[in-house]
Structure 1
Amino acid sequence: MKALVTVMPKTGVLDPQGKAIGHALAGLGFAGVGEVRAGKVIELELAETDPAKARAAAEEMARKLLANTVIESFSVSLA
């Protein structure tokens, strides 16, 4: 089973990468782009076949390693 963990900076946390992307988009002529936030997506191939157990395992991995929960939030989806 495939799990996708999306990690994003929490609201209020500075996001210099997002700011740089937003500035570059404006420099390329893309008008009307508001705030840009940059995160990451981690794709996990899990041997678990039970969706509830797979989600729980991916959430535990995110809490322990994939996300810094002090400054980042995460979400898990199964594919």
Structure 2
Amino acid sequence: MTVVKIFVNYKESILNPEAETIKKALGRLGYQNIAELKVGKSFELTLADGLTQEQIKCEVNEICDRMLVNYNMENYRYEISETEVI
């Protein structure tokens, strides 16, 4: 089986209000050394066997383009790994 982990974050130019709120709260708790904090989304897909690496990349990019990512505000990256069925 192939597992794909997709990570979606705001673009650098977009204000992330949730991250700013958490960063301020951590500052109030005494954690003053945090220069930057990012909050995003993550997804984990398990794909059926038999796909080539190129097919996997194509399908993941299409899924991100059509469903998971708002290109006006977000970027994404992903990691592909193979797992053994036990």
Fold-level match, TM-score > 0.5?
Answer: yes
In structure 1, list runs of 5 or more residues that go unmatched: none
- Do residues 73 (structure 1) and 75 (structure 2) align? yes
- Following superposition of structure 1 onto structure 2, how do residues 33-72 of structure 1 map, counting pairs within 5 Å? 33-48=34-49, 49-72=51-74
**Alignment TM-score, normalising by the size of structure 1:** 0.90
The count of residues paired between Structure 1 and Structure 2 equals: 79
Which is higher, the Rg of structure 1 or of structure 2? 2
* Offset, 1:13: 0.5
Secondary structure of 1:29's counterpart equals coil
Secondary structure of 1:44's counterpart equals strand
- Number of the residue aligned with 1:26: 27
In structure 2, list runs of 5 or more residues that go unmatched: 82-86
Structure 1 residue ranges, 4+ long, deviating more than 3 angstroms after superposition:
none
- Number of the residue aligned with 2:9: 8
**Alignment TM-score, normalising by the size of structure 2:** 0.83
* Offset, 1:67: 0.6
> Partners of 1:59 and 1:29 in 2: how far apart?
41
Question: Percent of aligned pairs with the same residue?
Answer: 25
> Partners of 2:64 and 2:18 in 1: how far apart?
21
> Partners of 2:25 and 2:69 in 1: how far apart?
26
